[in-house]
Amino acid sequence: MGKTLVEKILGIHLMEGECKKDEPIGIMIDQTLTQDATGTLAYLQFEAMGIDKVQTDLSVSYVDHNTLQTDNRNMDDHLYLQSVANKHGIYFSRPGNGICHQVHLERFAKPGHTLLGSDSHTPTAGGMCMIAIGAGGLDVACAMAGEPFHLKYPKVINVKLKGKLRPFVSAKDIILYILQLKSVKGGVGAIMEYSGEGVLTLSVPERATITNMGAELGATTSIFPSDGQTLDFLKRQGREQDYVALAADRDAVYDEVIEVDLGEIVPYAAMPHSPDNVKAVSELSNVKINQVAIGSCTNSSYRDLWIVGKILEGKVIAKNVSLVISPGSKQVLSMISRDGTLTRLIDAGARILECTCGPCIGMGQAPNSAGVTLRTFNRNFEGRSGTKDGQVYLVSPETAAVSALKGFLADPTEHLDRIDNFVFPDEFRIDDRMIIPPSPTPENVQVIRGPGIKPLPEMLPPPSDLSAKVVIKVGDNITTDHIMPAGAKVLPFRSDIPKISEFVFSSIDPDFHNKAKAAGSGVIIGGENYGQGSSREHAAIAPKYLGIKAVIAKSFARIHKANLINFGILPLTFADPADYEFVKDNDEVTIKNLHEAIGKTEFMANIGGRDVPMRLDISERDRELLLAGGTLAFIKRKFAK
């Protein structure tokens, strides 16, 4: 029987277990990446492991999320990241060099290799045929220490692309279409593997838009084959030597197959407040807009900004619109500044931002009250833009650009005339001087720790009996942006757990942190898909700091569930989801003989005086991690041996 692309790459990297669906496996990680907002914790944890040098082929630390430097804390974080990278064999991509996923794709991604990143959009590198997975910082720290990454062997969903996109329809529309089809839970436990003749029509940056936003399907990752397009992109990046041809065997067998005819895709928009709330733009044409933001790791490549420049050429944006553009990398900015694109953008009225995440993570450019903002980003969760009632629509760069001119949400296929065909320039501008290689004499490097970098809180093993109180009960699809908000107000505290914990659930219950502290030992009740979205482990470590011992939900998102286990919080599910209805705020929760219970898949809890059957669906290794009080305690013990 033939093999899928996923089977081939995972097979070569298998360190533990068997390549059988749902079996726990451990895979070798070739490369890691971190960004500043998750990186400080990841490196504090790496340091706590006591290892001198990373064990991977390549590890890169990027600074792209918080570069506002509104006070000392932000630059203190940058200095810590730079010095800790220098000491431990890690490359450091300086602020201004670009968004981690865009730069990684350009300069480091290699077909057939594995990448683990402390950011949920790490799958972007799947556009370069990598198995690229997002995880919590602690998992990335373990991978840097040479430990395998543990996951359940995923199912593989084959997305067969046929035909070719029509003019002004682009990769973003393909992934929005798939999100409409499958929903934000449609990829849970799966890898999306793309194939078919339509794949050949998509360049690497276009493929990367699709694999990037595969994260919004809940998928473990997404991957494209390595073919002529891959070779072409690598050649232009001066990295031809990194190319290998890789594809699934013709007779590969998949768990599910979806066929997509590219010729039938139209411009789509994801409406507030979920990436799967998708409609055709033509059905939404009367929506008046206030702001357009182009950029983020989804749509900020040279190709995307070139097309936006061509659409805006010689025109000016509508009076009612503020247009902001953040190029994905220094390479992109440098190239658009040479070919006339930048002038076209500025002349049309665009405000040019730094090459960072910027408005995507709520670092500025919050829309007006109830304002409508079109964004080429990947997430439109409520409040993430920085304005609680902001109405965020996710669209392609083509739709964003034409709408900025019109002043309302406009379908580019209806409103645009032909523009020149996009062709890549022969050579990309290659200049890696903003990426600092690690020190050849690490013994002389001193790690710089500013006052904002607080030591990690102590993680204790679980008590022998659990006695706790329900501190909050929430509904379905709660995101990590609800649990641990980001944005300009909160991101500066990413290295200070006691301080950042004051913001847990602040958008839902501003008093949560006081209530949790008063309870001393607390439980969170969640609905379906609890913890979707970002990989931020602060959404686990801060509740842990506030005394949360368990989350009892109907189901969990993958990365958040792993983060809960890493920090010793029990991710329990209701054996009968109907029991969710009976649980109330302030109910007492007891679990007798907790250590014994952690060893089992099913056991009883008592909630508010009722016996409620619980499930703990985790691997044997996860049970050991929980009993040790979390992964760091477990790993430290292992290395001490």
Q: How far apart, in whole angstroms, are the C-alpha atoms of residue 522 and residue 516?
A: 6
Question: Residue 42 interacts with ligand MIC (CB under 6 A)?
Answer: no
CB 328 within 8 A of CB 262: no
Q: Using CB under 6 A, which of 30, 76, 119, 193 touches ligand MIC?
A: 119
With CB cut-offs between 5 and 8 Å by kind, which of ligand SF4, ligand MIC, none does residue 99 bind? ligand SF4
Q: How far apart, in whole angstroms, are the C-alpha atoms of residue 548 and residue 466?
A: 11
N residues, the chain: 641
Q: Using CB under 6 A, which of 54, 85, 129, 360 touches ligand SF4?
A: 360
Site size with ligand MIC, rule: CB under 6 A: 13
Judged by CB under 6 A, the stretch of 119-127, 548-556, 606-614, 631-639 that binds ligand MIC is 119-127
Residues between 107 and 136 that touch ligand SF4 (CB under 6 A): 119, 121
Q: Using CB under 6 A, which of 99, 141, 145, 471 touches ligand SF4?
A: 99
Strand partners, 147: none
Residues between 43 and 72 that touch ligand SF4 (CB under 6 A): 65
Could you confirm whether 536 is annotated as catalytic? yes
Sheet holding 114-117, edge to edge: 131-134, 114-117, 31-35, 58-62, 91-93, 435-436
Q: Using CB under 6 A, which of 297, 401, 459, 516 touches ligand SF4?
A: 297
With CB cut-offs between 5 and 8 Å by kind, which of ligand SF4, ligand MIC, none does residue 296 bind? ligand SF4
Contacts 24+ apart (CB under 8 A), 386-390: 386/359, 386/362, 386/487, 386/488, 388/507, 390/366
User: Would you put residue 511 in left (φ > 0), alpha (ψ -120 to 50) or beta?
Assistant: alpha
Least distance (Å) between residue 519 CB and ligand SF4:
32
Judged by CB under 6 A, the stretch of 333-341, 355-363, 504-512, 600-608 that binds ligand SF4 is 355-363
Place of tokens 């968004």: 99
Place of tokens 């001087």: 433
Q: Using CB under 6 A, which of 486, 552, 618, 625 touches ligand MIC?
A: 486
Judged by CB under 6 A, the stretch of 102-110, 115-123, 205-213, 400-408 that binds ligand MIC is 115-123
User: Which residue among 77, 119, 139, 579 is the active-site one?
Assistant: 119
Question: Residue 632 interacts with ligand SF4 (CB under 6 A)?
Answer: no
Q: How far apart, in whole angstroms, are the C-alpha atoms of residue 127 and residue 112?
A: 11
Least distance (Å) between residue 555 CB and ligand MIC:
19
Could you confirm whether 347 is annotated as catalytic? no
User: Which residue among 94, 107, 303, 379 is the active-site one?
Assistant: 379
Could you confirm whether 119 is annotated as catalytic? yes
Question: Residue 536 interacts with ligand MIC (CB under 6 A)?
Answer: yes
DSSP per position, 568-606 = T-EEEEESSGGGGGG--TT-EEEESSHHHHHTSSEEEEE
Q: How far apart, in whole angstroms, are the C-alpha atoms of residue 64 and residue 96?
A: 7
Question: Residue 219 interacts with ligand MIC (CB under 6 A)?
Answer: no
Could you confirm whether 375 is annotated as catalytic? no
- Give Cβ neighbours of residue 43 (< 8 Å, ≥ 6 apart): 34, 61, 80, 81, 84, 85, 88, 141
CB 376 within 8 A of CB 172: yes
User: Which residue among 13, 65, 73, 344 is the active-site one?
Assistant: 65
User: Which residue among 13, 536, 538, 558 is the active-site one?
Assistant: 536
Helix (H, G, I), strand (E, B) or coil at 16: strand
Q: How far apart, in whole angstroms, are the C-alpha atoms of residue 88 and residue 442?
A: 7
- Write a three-state SS string for 216-241: HHCECEEECCECHHHHHHHHHCCCHH
Question: Residue 361 interacts with ligand MIC (CB under 6 A)?
Answer: yes
Question: Residue 490 interacts with ligand SF4 (CB under 6 A)?
Answer: no
CB 492 within 8 A of CB 362: no
Burial 46-77 (b: 16+ CB within 10 A, else e): bebbebeebebebbbbbbbbbbeeeeebbebb
Closest CB to ligand SF4 among residues 119, 193: 119
Q: Using CB under 6 A, which of 45, 376, 380, 534 touches ligand MIC?
A: 534
Question: Residue 322 interacts with ligand SF4 (CB under 6 A)?
Answer: no
User: Which residue among 118, 322, 396, 534 is the active-site one?
Assistant: 534
- Using CB under 6 A as the criterion, which residues of the chain lie in contact with ligand MIC when the complex forms? 37-38, 65, 119-121, 134, 361, 486, 533-536
- Using CB under 6 A as the criterion, which residues of the chain lie in contact with ligand SF4 when the complex forms? 65, 99, 119, 121, 296-297, 357, 360-361, 377-378
Catalytic center residues: 64-65, 119, 379, 534, 536
